[in-house]
Structure 1
Amino acid sequence: MAARRDTYTPQTLLQVAVGVFNERGYDGTSMEHLARAAGISKSSIYHHVPGKEELLRRAVSHALDGLDAVLEEPAAGTGPAVDRLEHVVRRTAEVLMERLPYVTLLLRVRGNTETERWALERRREFDHSVAELLRKAVAEGDLRPGTDVRLATRLLFGMINSIVEWYRPQRGGPQVSSQVVEAVISTAFAGLRGTGRP
């Protein structure tokens, strides 16, 4: 037991916690569940973190930081809005698959704790940024005229977020994830672009 305890780091403990949260639900997970899954004592967990909510915060932060970083990439900030939107959609799908367990957990938070409410607010800010890009692309004439921006944003995220329910990286790796991204882009933008546009 001592040898295993010595090998645990905050990051490896976080990976275990995310797996348990996704399996049992955050509310259904106790420190005892986490200790059992990690194979260490509860006091060893408390050595790394003050409690399970801190593990939740770190987990959803990892997901949110990845999404927010997409908006800071050069291709998300320059050029026609439709190109920036396509870049953000592409990279959002990639981040989701790269950080699958963390994004899965993020998409399951319901606002029952302070950390969950904080995470939901950050998610809303990200969604608003994407909706604004969509609005600009419509205004610039690069998306179908009359597009309902609010509805289109919800449908876009609905499609991307559904990936967490069926995508399993061990069944195909990078090639499959690349195919998923291309399918998201072609499906979304074939519908969003106006008639006769490429």
Structure 2
Amino acid sequence: MTTTGRAETGAEQGADQRPGRGRPPRYRRDELLERVVEVFNERGYEATSMEDLARATGLNKSSFYHHFSGKEELLGLGVGRALDALAAVLAEPAARHGAAADRLEHVVRRTAEVLLAELPYVTLLLRVRGNTKVEREALRRRRDLDTQVAAMVRAAAEAGEIRPDVDPRLATRLMFGMVNSITEWYRPGVRPSSRTDVVNAVVAIAMHGLAVKG
């Protein structure tokens, strides 16, 4: 006999622990965002519904809205994390001081390192197409970063530190197109390449390909 209400049966207690019912799983905000970004990358942002996100995380929609205002905020946080990390590279001392070619090499290396460290978030960023306000802002920020790097390439060419016969903007697109392609084939823990091997190869190919022939 119970003193208040009715007793829960074992089956009901078990049901309360199932994802999406009763007591939801506990997530830190960053953990929840990480899982959401995985779903965006798997299904595509536009094809993903809040129901899909709730199903993937075991949360119900009301629990989701307790953490985030909606799908577009989640996209903004995901691409923002990638953009903030890439922008931070250009603010590092080695990217701001010294010979232009040395600064460029530092940016190429660190960009590859950031991409590998933040792989799901950069992958999401590279798939943005500008269909929403958040996406258009992300593309604007990407263009700003490209402009800064192109200026660095131009300065290195004018200083005679790299070959001058390749348009700086084209060189920038080619170099970082190579870096960005890592998102399409790199899988953590899968041989033959470690993160260090990938980064070193990117720097060697990018910088030696631009080097002035002695």
Short-chain TM bin: over 0.9
Matched, 1:37 2:56: yes
For the residues of structure 2 that align with 1:170 and 1:55, how far apart are their CA atoms? 27
Per the alignment, residue 177 of structure 1 pairs with 195
Post-superposition CA distance 1:10-65 (Å, at most 9, x none): 21110111001000100000000000000110100000001011010000111001
For the residues of structure 1 that align with 2:83 and 2:207, how far apart are their CA atoms? 24
Per the alignment, residue 69 of structure 2 pairs with 50
For the residues of structure 1 that align with 2:23 and 2:121, how far apart are their CA atoms? 27
Post-superposition CA distance 1:50-95 (Å, at most 9, x none): 1011010000111001000001111001000000000000000000
Matched, 1:189 2:194: no
For the residues of structure 2 that align with 1:81 and 1:42, how far apart are their CA atoms? 50
What is the identity, as a one-letter code, of the residue corresponding to 1:73?
Answer: E
What is the identity, as a one-letter code, of the residue corresponding to 2:211?
Answer: R
- Which protein is richer in helix relative to its size? 1
Per the alignment, residue 114 of structure 1 pairs with 133
**Root-mean-square deviation (Å):** 1.4
For the residues of structure 1 that align with 2:24 and 2:60, how far apart are their CA atoms? 11
For the residues of structure 2 that align with 1:146 and 1:16, how far apart are their CA atoms? 45
Structure with larger Rg: 2
Give 1:162's match in structure 2, choosing from 181, 184, 188: 181
Secondary structure of the 2:189 match is helix
For the residues of structure 2 that align with 1:164 and 1:59, how far apart are their CA atoms? 15
Contact 2:24 2:60 in 1 (8 A): no
Give 1:63's match in structure 2, choosing from 60, 67, 82: 82
Matched, 1:13 2:45: no
Give 2:155's match in structure 1, choosing from 136, 142, 148: 136
Taking structure 1 as the reference length, the TM-score comes to: 0.94
Contact 2:29 2:67 in 1 (8 A): yes
Taking structure 2 as the reference length, the TM-score comes to: 0.88
The structure with higher relative contact order (CA 8 Å, sep 6+) is 1
* Aligned residues between the structures: 194
For the residues of structure 2 that align with 1:177 and 1:20, how far apart are their CA atoms? 24
For the residues of structure 2 that align with 1:44 and 1:172, how far apart are their CA atoms? 39
For the residues of structure 2 that align with 1:31 and 1:13, how far apart are their CA atoms? 13
Per the alignment, residue 84 of structure 1 pairs with 103
Contact 2:104 2:152 in 1 (8 A): yes
Per the alignment, residue 6 of structure 2 pairs with none
For the residues of structure 1 that align with 2:189 and 2:76, how far apart are their CA atoms? 26
Per the alignment, residue 3 of structure 2 pairs with none
For the residues of structure 1 that align with 2:74 and 2:114, how far apart are their CA atoms? 20
Gaps of 5+ in 1: none
